[in-house]
Chain A
Amino acid sequence: MTILVLTKELSQIQEFNEFIKTLKKPTNLSNKKSWYSVYSDMNGNIIKLITEDKKILAYAKEIGLK
């Protein structure tokens, strides 16, 4: 018997969340601002990302955010 399993690609926001898990959250954020704010549409496509974190910024450029 052959078993078929549905595989679904992760959306951009899901991939982003997986990426974030690999980072260490800053323990002392200046001015209580967000480490990051990420916005996606209902299809999971990232439409806006706000952060001052260099690693997150580099990731954003990789996925085509300007």
Chain B
Amino acid sequence: MPKHIASGLKYLAAVKLKDAGESHQAIAEELGVDRSTISHYLNGRNLSWNSIDVARTIVDLSPRDFLKMTEAIFDEPEQSRKIVNICRERNFEVSIGDSCIGCGLCVNACTMKAIELESLKAHADSIQCCGCQLCSDECPTNSIKILEI
């Protein structure tokens, strides 16, 4: 079952990349599957509609649940990071306040690798942020604010 849902998520990602104008070859490389599979996906073959529905439901969950489900299904951080980044419909703006002490807990918490430490302060790349707020939960000084844009 998880494999089918994974395929469903990959399907959704492939469609999104296609809409963004990516070639089959580029999509195949990005998602780590072969080109013929992508062609099958995009032609609506080899995939049960049910698993696509489940995948859609997962994408529509709250950002944190979406991330956690995806991580559980793929069990491979790099892969789940890609799927979340491609499939998520929402964008976020992260601001890290001056009260940041540079402890790095957010860096560890962020699955999306959107946060880096520099000069004793955390800096977030909003483009990478999936909005899960795991970082702000960890932050000992409540310095991270995430807003949907």
Does A pair with B? no
